[in-house]
C-alpha cells in the first residue's frame, strides 16, 4: 500500500507539505532497518514529492525546486535499485516455491546484490540533508498554492501528461516490445501522479484502474529483468530448467499484457474515456490560458497589477470589437492573445527592470506552444507585450516585419490597448476601476472610472494613447468617469 499523508488535503500546498513531511518520517523509519515495507514507503513519499515538484520546475524560476528534486533523486535512485532486487526475490519464490537449483543460484546472486544495494542505500540515507529538506518543506508549499486543485491549470497539466502517456501507449501497442511497454508504464505512472496530485476529484474515480494498469506493466518489467537474469550465461543451470523458467515467465508476461490491452486498447479504451472528461477544443484553449497565467504569475513581480491591466485591456477590446473598429471582432482568438500579453507583459522584470519589455518578448516567444493554441498566437502575444512601452512598432524591426500586413495591424491595435491600460494602472493600485468607450465616427472618448485627470498621470496617459490612436485612425480623449 502507498504511504498516505497524515491529514486530508485541502489545498495544493497542504498536500505537498504532507508528502514532504512524510519523506522525513519515512527517512527515519528506513534508517532503522532496511525492510522492504520501509523502503517502499520512503520511495512513495519521495516520488510523490518529486512528482509534484516537477510541475513547478517549468513554472517557477527559483532554483529551490531543482535543488530539492536533485537531492530527492540522489536518494530515490539507490532506493529503487534496492527495491528492484527485493521484488525480484519475491518473484523467484513465486515462480519456484520449491527453490530448485536455478532458483537457488538466482537467489544467491540477488542476495549478494541486495547487500551491495543496502550499503549504497545506507550511504545515501546518511548523505540526505534533513535540514535542507525541512527548509524546502517550509518554503515551497507556499509557492505551490498558486496551482489550485481541480482547477483549469491543473486540468491543462493533466492533458499534457495524457498526451505524452498516450503517445507512448500507442507505440507500445504497435511494436509489442517489452521495452516499449516499460516506457508506456512510465508515461502512465506520470499521468496517474498528475491526476492524484492535482485532480483529486477525478482521482477517486480513476485510481483503481490507473493503479491496476500501472502494476500490470510494472510486473511485465520485473519479469523481463528476471528473465534476462535467469537466462544469463553467468548463471549455470540445466537447459530444461532454463526452458521451464522461460515458459513460465513468458506466460506470466503475456497474461499481464493481455490484461493491459483488454482495458486500454480499442474504441472502448480507458485512455479515451479519461480524455473525454478533460478539456477539449475551446475549453482546452481556456485551460492553456490558465496555465500561461500561472506561469506569468511566478515571474511577474506584481501579479495583481498584471491581472488588473488584463481586465482593463479586455474591457476596451470588447468595446472596440463590438463597434467593429480596426478589424477587432467579438470572441475571436485575438482577444486571448491580448489577455496573455497583458498577464505576461512584465515577466521580463524577473531578470531586471531595464529593457524588461524586450525580455518579456523573448520569454513569451520562447514558450512551448500550448495545446489548443497556435505558434502564431504565442508569437503575436510576445510582440504585443514587447510594444507595451517604449519604441513603437516599426517595419525595420525583424519580428514585426515578418508579419503579414493584417497581423501587423492586429499587433498595433492590441499593443495600443495594452499601453493605455498599463498607463491607467501606473501606480499598481487599481484606482482606475473601469473603462467605457464612446466610439464616434471621428473620435473616441474613454471614460475612466476612478481617473482624476491629475498629473503626472494625465501626461503619462496622453503619451500612452498615441499607439491606440494610430490603430484606430482617430483621436482619443480620456476623461474622468464615475
- pLDDT of 6 reads 43
Put the strands of the sheet holding 476-481 in their side by side order. Answer: 434-439, 444-449, 476-481
49-86 exposure pattern, b = at least 16 Cβ within 10 A, e = fewer? bbbbbbbbeebbeeebbeebbebbeebbebbbebbbbb
The grid coordinates listed for 222 are 520485473
Residues 6 or more apart in contact with residue 314 via CB below 8 angstroms:
335, 338, 339, 342
The grid coordinates listed for 203 are 482521482
Strands 476-481 vs 444-449: parallel, antiparallel or unpaired: parallel
Q: The domain at 294-481 falls in which architecture?
A: Orthogonal Bundle (1.10)
Query: Which residue is it, cell 480524455?
Result: 275
The grid coordinates listed for 346 are 512584465
The angle that helices 36-57 and 64-95 make with each other, rounded to 10 degrees, is 140
List the one residue out of 416, 473, 409 whose CA is nearest residue 439. 473
Contact assessment for residue 392 and residue 467, using Cβ atoms and an 8 Å cutoff:
yes
In this prediction the pTM is 0.92
Distance from C-alpha of 200 to C-alpha of 150, rounded to nearest angstrom:
7
Domain boundaries, given as residue ranges, for the chain:
1-147, 148-278, 294-481
The grid coordinates listed for 202 are 477525478
- pLDDT of 10 reads 53
- pLDDT of 108 reads 93
Q: Mapped to the 3 state alphabet, what secondary structure does the chain carry?
A: CCCCCCCCCCCHHHHHHHHHHHHHHHHHHHHHCCCHHHHHHHHHHHHHHHHHHHHHHCCCCCCHHHHHHHHHHHHHHHHHHHHHHHHHHHHHHHHCCCCCHHHHHHHHHHHHHHHHHHHHHHHHHHHCCHHHHHHHHHHHHHHHCCCCCCCHHHHHHHHHHHHHHHHHHHHHHHHCCHHHHHHHHHHHHHHHHHHHHHCHHHHHHHHHHHHHHHHHHHHHHHHHHHHHHHCCCCCCCCHHHHHHHHHHHHHHHHHHHHHHHHHHCCCCCHHHHHHHCCCCHHHHHHHHHHHHHHHHHHHCCCHHHHHHHHHHHHHHHHHHHHCCHHHCCCCCHHHHHHHHHHHCCCHHHHHCCCCHHHHHHHHHHCCCCCCCCCHHHHHHHHHHHHCCCCCCCCCCCHHHHCCCHHHHHHHHHHHHHHHHHHHHCCCCCCCCCEEEEEECCCCEEEEEECCCCCCCHHHHHHHHHHHHHHHHCCCEEEEEEC
- pLDDT of 3 reads 47
The grid coordinates listed for 249 are 515467465
Q: What is the pLDDT along the chain (482 residues), one digit of tens a residue?
A: 444 444 334 589 999 999 999 999 999 999 998 888 899 999 999 999 999 999 999 899 889 999 999 999 999 999 999 999 999 999 999 999 999 999 999 999 999 999 999 999 999 999 999 999 999 999 999 999 999 999 999 999 999 999 999 999 999 999 999 999 999 999 999 999 999 999 999 998 999 999 999 999 999 999 999 999 888 877 777 888 889 999 999 999 999 999 999 999 999 999 999 999 999 999 999 999 999 999 999 999 999 999 999 999 999 999 999 998 888 888 779 999 999 999 999 999 999 999 999 999 999 999 999 999 999 999 999 999 999 999 999 999 999 999 999 999 999 999 999 999 999 999 999 999 999 999 998 999 999 999 999 999 999 999 999 999 999 999 999 999 87
Amino acid at each position: 500500500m502507498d504511504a498516505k499523508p497524515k491529514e486530508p488535503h485541502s489545498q495544493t500546498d497542504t498536500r505537498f507539505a504532507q508528502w514532504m513531511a512524510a519523506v522525513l518520517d519515512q527517512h527515519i523509519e528506513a534508517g532503522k532497518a532496511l525492510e522492504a515495507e520501509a523502503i517502499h514507503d520512503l520511495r512513495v513519499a519521495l516520488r510523490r514529492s518529486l512528482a509534484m515538484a516537477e510541475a513547478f520546475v517549468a513554472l517557477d524560476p527559483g532554483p529551490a525546486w531543482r535543488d530539492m528534486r536533485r537531492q530527492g533523486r540522489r536518494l530515490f535512485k539507490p532506493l529503487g535499485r534496492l527495491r528492484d532486487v527485493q521484488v525480484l526475490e519475491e518473484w523467484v519464490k513465486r515462480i519456484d516455491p520449491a527453490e530448485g537449483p536455478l532458483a537457488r543460484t538466482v537467489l544467491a546472486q540477488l542476495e549478494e546484490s541486495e547487500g551491495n544495494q543496502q550499503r549504497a542505500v545506507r550511504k545515501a540515507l546518511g548523505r540526505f540533508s534533513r535540514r535542507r529538506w525541512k527548509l524546502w518543506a517550509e518554503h515551497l508549499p507556499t509557492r505551490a498554492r498558486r496551482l489550485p486543485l481541480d482547477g483549469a491549470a491543473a486540468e491543462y497539466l493533466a492533458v499534457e501528461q495524457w498526451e505524452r502517456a498516450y503517445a507512448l501507449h500507442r507505440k507500445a501497442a504497435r511494436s509489442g516490445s517489452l521495452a516499449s511497454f516499460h516506457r508506456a508504464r512510465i508515461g502512465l505512472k506520470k499521468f496517474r501522479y498528475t491526476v492524484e496530485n492535482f485532480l483529486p476529484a477525478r482521482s477517486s474515480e480513476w485510481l483503481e484502474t490507473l493503479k491496476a494498469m500501472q502494476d500490470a506493466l510494472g510486473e511485465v518489467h520485473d519479469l523481463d529483468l528476471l528473465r534476462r537474469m535467469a537466462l544469463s550465461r553467468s548463471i549455470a543451470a540445466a537447459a530444461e530448467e532454463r526452458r521451464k523458467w522461460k515458459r513460465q515467465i513468458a506466460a506470466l508476461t503475456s497474461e499481464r499484457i493481455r490484461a493491459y490491452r483488454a482495458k486500454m486498447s480499442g474504441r472502448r479504451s480507458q485512455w479515451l474515456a479519461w480524455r473525454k472528461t478533460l478539456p477539449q477544443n475551446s475549453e482546452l484553449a481556456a485551460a492553456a490560458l490558465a496555465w500561461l497565467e500561472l506561469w506569468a504569475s511566478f515571474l511577474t513581480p506584481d501579479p495583481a497589477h498584471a491581472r488588473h491591466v488584463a481586465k482593463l485591456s479586455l474591457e476596451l477590446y470588447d468595446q472596440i470589437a463590438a463597434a467593429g473598429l480596426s478589424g477587432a471582432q467579438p470572441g475571436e482568438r485575438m482577444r486571448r492573445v491580448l489577455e496573455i500579453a497583458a498577464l505576461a507583459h512584465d515577466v521580463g522584470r524577473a531578470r531586471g527592470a531595464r529593457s524588461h519589455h524586450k525580455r518579456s518578448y523573448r520569454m513569451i516567444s520562447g514558450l512551448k506552444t500550448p495545446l489548443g493554441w497556435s505558434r502564431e498566437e504565442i508569437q503575436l502575444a510576445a510582440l504585443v507585450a514587447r510594444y507595451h512601452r517604449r519604441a513603437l512598432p516599426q517595419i525595420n524591426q525583424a519580428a514585426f516585419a515578418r508579419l503579414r500586413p493584417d497581423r501587423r495591424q492586429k499587433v498595433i491595435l492590441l499593443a495600443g490597448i495594452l499601453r493605455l491600460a498599463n498607463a491607467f494602472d501606473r501606480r499598481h493600485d487599481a484606482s482606475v476601476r473601469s473603462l467605457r468607450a464612446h466610439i464616434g465616427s471621428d473620435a473616441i472618448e474613454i471614460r475612466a472610472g476612478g481617473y482624476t485627470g491629475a498629473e503626472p498621470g494625465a501626461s503619462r496617459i496622453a503619451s500612452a494613447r498615441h499607439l491606440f490612436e494610430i490603430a484606430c485612425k482617430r483621436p482619443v480623449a480620456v476623461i474622468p468617469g464615475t
